[in-house]
Amino acid sequence: MIRDSVVDCVGATPLVRLARLFPGPGVEVIAKLEALNPSGNGTDRAARHIIEQGLRDGVFTADTHLVESVCGDTGAGLAMVARICGLPLTAVVDTTVPAADVAIMRLLGATVDTVAAGDDPAVTARRRVERVQEILRADPRSRWINQTANALNADAHFRTTAREIADAVGGRLDVLVAAVRTGGTLIGAARRLRAEFPSLAVVAVDMVGSTLFGGPPGVNRWRTAGCGPRPELLEPAEIDRVVHVTEAQTIAGCRRLLQTEAILAGPASGAVVAALDRILPLLPRPVRVAAVLPDRGDRHLHDIFAPAGPETRRPEGRARD
């Protein structure tokens, strides 16, 4: 099939059994490889749906200046879709966002506006949002995407990610496991899959140091999960279990995934693998698990996959004005 643009390639990512990584009897772990979206992340789905639906509904027009607070991989997807749709995008980042992510956004045509990071993720997130509000006041053409509260974020995964999983697994699915940042992937997919599989257990993966579920703030090097206050889309009542993983467990998960399944995935995916290590021994047999692996690993050759280990390597450059 020939597509009209790279944006039309978003979604329809493959599912793979992780039988080498989790070979136990009565266990089937099925991975959704979201890193195979065009920008390398499952957030491409939300970026496409929010912008395209906004244009269809008239919320955005050909003159709209898109603005968003970005702390992770969503920026590349937003920049990609905005460029194809012919809309300017300003991504407001902070000084902890990796320089590679900033460079990708700029190459895709986005303007990057950088604020200083604060002492904890909540302070940093507030500074980004305050800068967004300044831009909105200064430019009457500007519109805030607001991915953490935009229902179209979750709707993208309800309509596509969950449907693809349900169609592939057929008549049975026991557990859904996904990392949580904005909540869009987890909540959107869980709502549709629960309608298809009423006994489904939903497991959220978060990092030690994230404050999304009330834990104390700490360092979250890769923005794998929560990187600010709890997003409006995140509904704890719809989650059955939260698993917090450490940085070391995340690194180990990434490396085991590569060594056993030849999947070069990023830290959010490694965190999901680490969470699976924790929960699988607790689940009854037989069990069928869908795990969303959202990110790619080639941007982490210098840290997660560095031969000497990330703690002994020089850290990647950070965003600068």
Tell whether 83 and 179 lie within a shared domain: no
pTM of the model: 0.93
Q: How confident is the model at residue 222 (pLDDT cuts 50, 70, 90)?
A: low
Instruction: Choose one of 96, 120, 144: the last residue of a domain.
Output: 144
Examine residue 222 and state whether it is found in any structural domain, yes or no: yes
SS3 238: helix
Sheet with 111-115: strands ordered across: 111-115, 89-94, 65-69, 142-144
Structural domain count of the chain: 2
Averaged confidence pLDDT in the chain: 92
Tell whether 154 and 268 lie within a shared domain: yes
Tell whether 85 and 158 lie within a shared domain: no
Tell whether 260 and 157 lie within a shared domain: yes
> Which is higher by pLDDT, 218 or 249?
249
Instruction: Choose one of 144, 165, 189: the last residue of a domain.
Output: 144
Tell whether 29 and 85 lie within a shared domain: no
Tell whether 47 and 184 lie within a shared domain: no
Tell me which range, 61-75, 109-123, 192-206, is most confidently predicted by mean pLDDT: 192-206
Instruction: Choose one of 144, 178, 212: the last residue of a domain.
Output: 144
Examine residue 127 and state whether it is found in any structural domain, yes or no: yes
Tell whether 230 and 210 lie within a shared domain: yes
Is the preceding omega at residue 307 within 30 degrees of 0, hence cis? no
Q: Taking residues 282-305, report their average pLDDT.
A: 95
Tell whether 164 and 129 lie within a shared domain: no
* pLDDT for 48: 98
Examine residue 74 and state whether it is found in any structural domain, yes or no: yes
Examine residue 119 and state whether it is found in any structural domain, yes or no: yes
* pLDDT for 227: 60
CA 109, 113, 119, 124 torsion: positive or negative? negative
d(CA 70, CA 58): 24
d(CA 116, CA 130): 12
Tell whether 178 and 234 lie within a shared domain: yes
Domain hosting 249: range is 6-41+150-292
Percent of the chain whose pLDDT exceeds 70: 93
268-292 in b/e form (b: 16+ CB < 10 A) is: bbbbbbbbbbebbeebeeebbbbbb
Assess whether pLDDT exceeds 80 at residue 313.
no
* pLDDT for 316: 43
Question: How many C-beta atoms lie closer than 10 Å to residue 266's C-beta?
Answer: 24
Examine residue 302 and state whether it is found in any structural domain, yes or no: no
Examine residue 312 and state whether it is found in any structural domain, yes or no: no
d(CA 258, CA 321): 35
Q: How confident is the model at residue 317 (pLDDT cuts 50, 70, 90)?
A: very low
- Judging by DSSP bridges, how do beta strands 287-293 and 27-33 pair with one another? parallel
Q: How confident is the model at residue 51 (pLDDT cuts 50, 70, 90)?
A: very high
Examine residue 53 and state whether it is found in any structural domain, yes or no: yes
203-214 per-position pLDDT tens digit: 999 999 887 888
Assess whether pLDDT exceeds 60 at residue 224.
no
> Which is higher by pLDDT, 120 or 55?
55
Q: Taking residues 217-230, report their average pLDDT.
A: 65
d(CA 161, CA 185): 8
Quick check: 95 and 117 in contact, CB under 8 A? yes
* pLDDT for 320: 36
CATH number (domain holding residue 123): 3.40.50.1100
Tell whether 138 and 205 lie within a shared domain: no
Tell whether 22 and 67 lie within a shared domain: no
Tell me which range, 102-116, 226-240, 296-310, is most confidently predicted by mean pLDDT: 102-116
* pLDDT for 195: 97
Tell whether 222 and 277 lie within a shared domain: yes
* pLDDT for 121: 78
Examine residue 311 and state whether it is found in any structural domain, yes or no: no
Q: Taking residues 88-107, report their average pLDDT.
A: 94
